[in-house]
Amino acid sequence: MKSLERLQQAIGYVFQDEVLLRQALTHRSAGAQHNERLEFLGDAALNFVVAAELYARFPKVSEGNLSRMRARLVREETLAQVAGEIALADSLILGPGELRSGGARRDSIRADALEAIIGAAYLDGGFAAAQGIVRQLIVPLMTEALGDEELRDPKTRLQEFLQGQGKPLPSYSLVEEKGQAHERRFVARCSVQGVPATDAEAGSRRKAEQQAAQQMLEQLQKSPAGQQRHAG
């Protein structure tokens, strides 16, 4: 398939066993030989390679900022963006339901497939193969600005805000899960002692929790105590 040839050119690695690549591109809706186990492996390899590259490239950056930089580079939104740039969706293997609902456009499916490709490359060509793909696709995105405070994810910023006030950390719960299997929606709740909880809905539990955390943070910053600390 020409799409597989283009994809391998884009990731900078040609598979010896193309069956592994096809499995990495196969969503669970398309059959039993899907990519979820490869995604698990690729996620671990991606996190390690990104951490090692950040450590080597930014010797003066603190551990906290390195962690935030890594989180931004390996998050679903970033991986989906990279997947879009290499036209990964053209090669995805989806079941009929996902095809009808436009699954190839979903960030979660594209991001998961990219991680699965990294995992498949590790099995196909060893650590160097997985490392090469990460260096080709993710390392060019690395800048020290990734660690800036305003770019931290809402859950991290909320936690730091509460710690700064000496308050207990927030808790998160899943309030509702709805929709068909191929287009699930999640409602998450963020709870902080002494203030009304905030709910948010999104296409993944993680996104819903982040949105609920953002709403909570805004609520706390509008309170008299929050405004006083924010001004200081």
From the candidates 43, 53, 124, 209, give the one annotated as an active-site residue: 43
Q: How distant, in Å, are the alpha carbons of 8, 68, 125, 145 from that of 132? A: 12, 23, 10, 24
Q: Give residue 39's pLDDT.
A: 96
Q: Is 160 annotated as a binding residue?
A: no
User: To 10 degrees, what angle do helices 154-164 and 205-222 make?
Assistant: 40
Q: Is 5 annotated as a binding residue?
A: no
Q: Give residue 105's pLDDT.
A: 78
Looking at the chain, the number of H-run helices and the number of E-run strands are 11, 3
124 catalytically annotated: no
The CATH architecture assigned to 2-148 reads Orthogonal Bundle (1.10)
The predicted model gives 12-33 an average pLDDT of 93
Over the stretch 184-228, which tens digit does the pLDDT of each residue have? Answer: 889 999 999 989 999 999 888 888 998 999 999 998 988 765 544
Q: Is 112 annotated as a binding residue?
A: yes
CA 108/CA 131 separation, integer angstroms: 22
Domain ranges of the chain: 2-148, 154-231
Helix (H) or strand (E) holding 190: strand 185-191
209 catalytically annotated: no
Q: Residue 17 corresponds to which tokens in the numbers above?
A: 């066993």
Out of 3.90.180.10, 3.40.1190.20, 3.30.230.10, 3.30.160.20, the CATH code matching 154-231 is 3.30.160.20
From the candidates 76, 98, 107, 115, give the one annotated as an active-site residue: 115
Over the stretch 28-44, which tens digit does the pLDDT of each residue have? Answer: 888 889 999 999 999 99
Over the stretch 55-80, which tens digit does the pLDDT of each residue have? Answer: 999 998 888 888 888 888 998 888 99
Q: Give residue 229's pLDDT.
A: 44
